[in-house]
């Protein structure tokens, strides 16, 4: 998310906001601890007042919140106890875990649905977006989640406009973040809205983080659509594409290879891969570039030839468009330095 936050007025900066993190067990522990650290740092920055009242509510029988690491987190109260608390919630953050999305607690979903209308900001971390969608909050909204489950979210909740690329997405007062650590990025954005970019930048420095991380999830996602079923009619073609990235892979070439018409091939790609042949080919080429950069030992000219780009400039433009950063920046970030 790259939009700059506007300076807020002095009065707004002297308000203590109640931030409730709702944990749906088993949670990813970092989904809870990461954003919590951001708000905690914000409180430490302000000697005259604590801008946030941070509370962890457990959607479980007791205050011990189970995490996927096997390490429990101790919350302030259970969801049942929270229902008896009438203090207004400024920001609600829903955290979950990969194991939770197919067994969401109906009582927790109902509580989210009822409380959302009175909350200034409703947020989710990673796969917590499934809980917001189940509560109907993401209907007609733009949203993101972990790249591995973005397609699953879109298929389960077709009225949600799922974008797997951004680190986090804001749609009016609904905020959704991508995989795991991106909850920290979103929390920095929330603090920036409340206290200004200066405070958010100071927290980012303390946590040794970017204030606004360059690029998006495309830096990390395996964009190869390997979710193909073994019976898919496109399986053989997709394997052939991956083995011939240095060839001229036009739509006509692919249609001829698959012994079908261009129009039929387009329909097949949309139906089975939710993309177009051109985008699919580019995704595979970008993946190949990433692997080549990570292993090192090749020049960009050599990588361009092996991945079907006519020039380094064409490769660089495609890479920046898809990944959000340049090949050089990618190498600096993801290739270990030689010792």
DSSP-derived 3-state class of residue 168: strand
| pLDDT by position in tens, the chain (length 339) | 434 444 444 444 467 899 999 999 999 999 999 999 999 999 998 877 899 999 999 998 899 999 999 999 999 999 999 988 888 999 999 999 999 999 999 999 999 999 999 999 999 999 999 999 999 999 999 999 998 899 899 999 999 999 887 889 999 999 999 977 899 989 999 999 999 888 888 888 888 776 566 666 655 554 444 444 445 678 788 888 888 999 999 999 999 999 999 999 999 998 888 889 999 999 889 988 988 887 777 899 999 999 999 999 999 999 999 888 899 988 887 665 543
CA dihedral sign of residues 12, 14, 15, 17: positive
Instruction: Check whether residue 164 and residue 45 sit in a common domain.
Output: yes
- Note whether residue 1 is domain-resident: no
* Domain end call among 187, 217, 247: 217
Residues 165 and 198 in one domain: yes
Residues 203 and 292 occupy one common structural domain: no
Number of domains present in the structure of the chain:
2
Please indicate, yes or no, if residue 227 is contained in any of the structural domains.
no
Burial class (CB in 10 A: 0-12, 13-18, 19+), 321: exposed
d(CA 164, CA 144): 6
Domain membership flag for residue 50: yes
Q: Is residue 225 part of a domain?
A: no
Q: Please give the model's pTM, rounded to 2 decimal places.
A: 0.68
Q: In this structure, are 181 and 247 located in the same domain?
A: no
Instruction: Kindly state whether residue 152 falls inside one of the protein's structural domains.
Output: yes
Look at residues 217, 251, 282 and tell me which one is the last residue of a structural domain: 217
* Same domain (yes/no): 150, 101: yes
- According to DSSP, residue 126 is labeled G
Residue 76 shares a structural domain with residue 171:
yes
Residues of the domain holding 127: 12-217
Q: What is the CATH number of the domain that holds 95?
A: 3.40.50.880
- Tell me which of 186, 217, 248 is where a domain ends: 217
Examine the domain organization and report whether 33 and 118 are in the same domain: yes
Q: Say if residue 129 is in the same domain as residue 169.
A: yes
């Amino acid at each position: 998310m790259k939009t700059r936050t506007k300076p807020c007025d002095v009065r707004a900066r002297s308000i203590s906001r109640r931030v409730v993190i709702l944990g749906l067990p088993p949670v990813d522990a970092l989904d809870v601890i990461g954003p919590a650290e951001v708000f905690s740092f914000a409180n430490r920055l302000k000697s005259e007042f604590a801008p946030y009242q941070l509370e962890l509510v457990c959607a479980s029988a007791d205050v011990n919140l189970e995490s996927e690491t096997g390490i429990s987190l101790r919350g302030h109260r259970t969801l049942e106890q929270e229902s008896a608390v009438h203090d207004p919630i400024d920001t609600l953050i829903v955290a979950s875990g990969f194991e939770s999305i197919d067994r969401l607690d109906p009582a927790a979903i109902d509580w989210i649905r009822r409380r959302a209308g009175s909350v200034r900001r409703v947020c989710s971390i990673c796969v917590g977006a499934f809980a917001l969608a189940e509560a109907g909050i993401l209907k007609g909204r733009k949203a993101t989640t972990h790249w591995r489950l973005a397609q699953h979210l879109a298929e389960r909740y077709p009225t949600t406009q799922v974008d797997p690329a951004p680190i986090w997405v804001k749609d009016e007062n609904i905020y959704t973040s991508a995989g795991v650590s991106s909850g920290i990025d979103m929390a920095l954005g929330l603090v920036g809205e409340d206290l200004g970019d200066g405070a958010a930048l100071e927290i980012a420095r303390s946590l040794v983080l970017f204030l606004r991380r360059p690029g998006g999830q495309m830096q990390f996602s395996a964009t190869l659509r390997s979710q193909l079923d073994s019976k898919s009619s496109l399986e053989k073609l997709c394997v052939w594409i991956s083995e011939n990235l240095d060839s001229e892979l036009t739509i006509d070439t692919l249609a001829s290879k698959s012994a079908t018409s261009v129009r039929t091939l387009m329909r097949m790609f949309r139906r089975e891969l939710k993309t177009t042949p051109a985008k699919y080919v580019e995704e595979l080429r970008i993946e190949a570039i990433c692997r080549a950069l990570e292993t090192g030992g090749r020049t960009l000219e050599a990588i361009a030839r092996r991945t079907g780009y006519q020039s380094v400039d064409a490769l660089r433009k495609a890479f920046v468009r898809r990944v959000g950063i340049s090949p050089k920046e990618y190498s600096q970030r993801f290739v270990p330095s030689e010792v």
